[in-house]
């Protein structure tokens, strides 16, 4: 079955809702058992649901009020590309964090079997970047 824009948009929406709920188990259910989840182009990926769950739980434990938005860029037979933005506050410090990125999700059936993202993180302590970004 070929990936459609509607199917990809629904998957992204489910991903965003689970992220906003800080529900790492619901996030991981969107991926295949043998998922390869690439957090950055240079780090080793999380391989498999178990590793992805541990990584998600660790990352989400430091976030409050996350929000994910996306715009679909392109669809192929088995993959979708999207521009995404996320915002959250760091738990314990209440520092605002914004992330802007591109993702590619490759599907086998209804499950994502490979996820790659490229991102830029903007947070306090980066000089005047946050002020200039809002200007």
Token pair of 52, please? Answer: 């992805």
pLDDT value of residue 117:
96
- The total number of structural domains in the chain stands at 1
Residue 97 near residue 122 (C-beta atoms within 8 A): yes
CB 32 within 8 A of CB 113: yes
pLDDT of residue 121: 87
**Helix H or strand E encompassing 130:** helix 129-134
pLDDT of residue 109: 87
CATH of residue 128 = 3.10.450.50
The answer to whether 36 and 113 have CB atoms below 8 angstroms apart is yes
Per DSSP, the three-state class of 95 is: coil
pLDDT in tens, 11-60: 999 999 999 999 999 999 999 999 999 999 998 999 999 999 999 999 99
Q: What percent of the chain has pLDDT over 90?
A: 76
pTM of the model as a whole: 0.87
Give residue 94's pLDDT.
80
Domain containing 44 equals 5-134
Copy the structure tokens of residue 33. 């058992």
Q: Three-state SS string across 5-37, please? A: HHHHHHHHHHHHHHHHCCCHHHHHCCEEEEEEE
């Amino acid at each position: 079955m070929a990936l459609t824009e509607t199917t990809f948009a629904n998957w992204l929406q489910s991903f965003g809702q689970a992220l906003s709920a800080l529900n790492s188990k619901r996030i991981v259910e969107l991926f295949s058992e043998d998922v390869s989840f690439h957090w950055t182009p240079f780090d080793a990926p999380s391989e498999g649901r178990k590793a992805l769950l541990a990584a998600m739980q660790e990352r989400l434990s430091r976030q409050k009020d996350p929000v994910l938005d996306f715009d679909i860029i392109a669809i192929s037979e088995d993959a979708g590309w999207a521009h995404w933005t996320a915002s959250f506050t760091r738990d314990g410090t209440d520092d605002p964090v914004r992330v802007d990125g591109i993702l590619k999700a490759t599907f086998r059936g209804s499950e994502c079997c490979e996820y790659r993202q490229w991102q830029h993180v903007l947070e306090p302590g980066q000089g005047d970047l946050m002020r200039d970004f809002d200007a």
